[in-house]
Amino acid sequence: MAEEHYSRAKNSTMQSQSAFEPKEFVENQIQQIRNQLGKERALVAVSGGVDSSACAALVYQAIVNNLLCVILDDAFMREGEPEKVANLLSQPPLNLPIKILNVKKRFLTEMKGLRDAEEKRKVFRETFYNILSETAKGEGIRYLVQGTILADIMETAGGVKTQHNVLSQIGISTEERYGFQLVEPLKTLFKGQVRKVARYLGLPREIAERQPFPGPGLSVRVVGEIRRDKLESLKKATAIAEEKLAKHEPSQYFAVILDNVEKPHGAQELQIELLTTDFLKVSPSQVSVTIFEDKATGVREGKRIYGKISALKVLTNKGDIHQPDIQSLIDLQTRIVTENPVMTRVFYVIREKSPRQPYVVAVRAVKTEDFLTAKVADIPWTTLNEIAEEILTTCGNVSAVYYDVTPKPTATIEME
């Protein structure tokens, strides 16, 4: 059922992408935007991702200086990102008029103490739109432009996630709630088509070819409660993982951080240990399994669920970490989640350090065409070891680094 849902979506993506003509699309949209906005001004929040940047560039062509672009520096962007993005977009050939709004404190205060992933997403969305609403009102602007794409709408409507930028499609009236009307010129496009539009509009390569970064940013990669020290370590781990993984060209690659708090060892851990022993042909004393207290999102039958996160550690006879080929770990993961449907993630340890620290990091790298399904990227152990080594040295409060060997579905791409 889930496979059917995703393969239908995938087929339609492939067909529509090959026939797509960016020039014609852009010209039609410019006309439509002019018809819709007339002499009105509009506000757009850009993150530097291909969707919001292409959208802003497109609307700028239609209404030029009637467009105000803002970057919400919300504490969840990567190191140095707001400035880098503002710099790229405000230079020729785009020359977008950009303002950075420093709203870090407000987001951190609103999100403080929240643990539940869905609640965090909702609070993020509310804070995000409240700030945009206040900014628009302050400027006398009645239109908000956003780069929502078809996958965002399909996944929110289909129950896969609460996307930060999908509102009217789930029954929220933006006019009543926030006082603006939405303009969403990319909402019929898939990611590949948006990249074509971005290249056609002359966006810099760093943006047109950039890997996706979620609207709620690093907040969906801090599993459980967001704390400053946890977020700081995630920013460092993200920079290391991105730098070392880029050469392998996964479709999306990043780090996540979670509390190093595990459930008491019980029957499920034991069952997974036995399964791992049998699958990897090692002795039981070489295998240990942890199930974390926090949960992560996954997909079952096309719907979003919250499931358990397990981490496997297998040692060699000499006591080093056993590093079998990644494909066999993916196969092992399939057996584990088949026999334990409450499990949405399987991590495999790359490196650990002692004494025990409050956090662990997981590295994720996936290959995908449409982001509706994704395979785990076969990253060489040398790269994984380098990443883990550097993260453990740089982040004092992290005691283990794992590789996430779960495809989508079972897991989602992001952790929350």
Amino acid at 236: K
Among 22, 48, 185, 216, binds ligand XMP (CB under 6 A): 216
Q: Is 399 in the site for ligand XMP (CB under 6 A)?
A: no
Q: Which residue has the tokens 């971005």?
A: 198
Q: Is 161 in the site for ligand XMP (CB under 6 A)?
A: yes
Identify the DSSP state of 166: -
Among 164, 227, 244, 364, binds ligand XMP (CB under 6 A): 164
Q: Is 413 in the site for ligand XMP (CB under 6 A)?
A: yes
| 8 A C-beta contact, residue 81 and residue 48 | yes
Q: Is 412 in the site for ligand XMP (CB under 6 A)?
A: yes
Q: Is 344 in the site for ligand XMP (CB under 6 A)?
A: no
Instruction: Report the distance separating Cα 117 and Cα 414, nearest Å.
Output: 11
Q: Is 227 in the site for ligand XMP (CB under 6 A)?
A: no
Instruction: Report the distance separating Cα 182 and Cα 175, nearest Å.
Output: 8
What is the β-pairing status of strands 287-300 and 303-314? antiparallel
At 44, which helix (H) or strand (E)? strand 42-45
Instruction: Report the distance separating Cα 234 and Cα 321, nearest Å.
Output: 24
Residue among 193 and 252 whose Cβ is closer to ligand XMP: 252
The most distant pair of C-alpha atoms in the chain lies apart, rounded to whole Å, by: 73
Q: Is 313 in the site for ligand XMP (CB under 6 A)?
A: no
Q: Is 71 in the site for ligand XMP (CB under 6 A)?
A: no
Q: Is 163 in the site for ligand XMP (CB under 6 A)?
A: yes
CB neighbourhood size of 4 (10 A): 10
Residue ranges in 362-391 that form contacts with ligand XMP under rule CB under 6 A = 371
The token pair that represents 105 in the structure block: 């404190």
**3-class DSSP state for residue 139?**
helix
Which span (56-64, 196-204, 215-223, 317-325) binds ligand XMP, by CB under 6 A?
215-223
Residue among 5 and 161 whose Cβ is closer to ligand XMP: 161
Q: Total number of residues binding ligand XMP (CB under 6 A)?
A: 17
Among 22, 215, 250, 307, binds ligand XMP (CB under 6 A): 215
Interface ranges with ligand XMP (CB under 6 A)? 155, 160-161, 163-165, 212, 214-216, 220, 252, 371, 408, 412-414
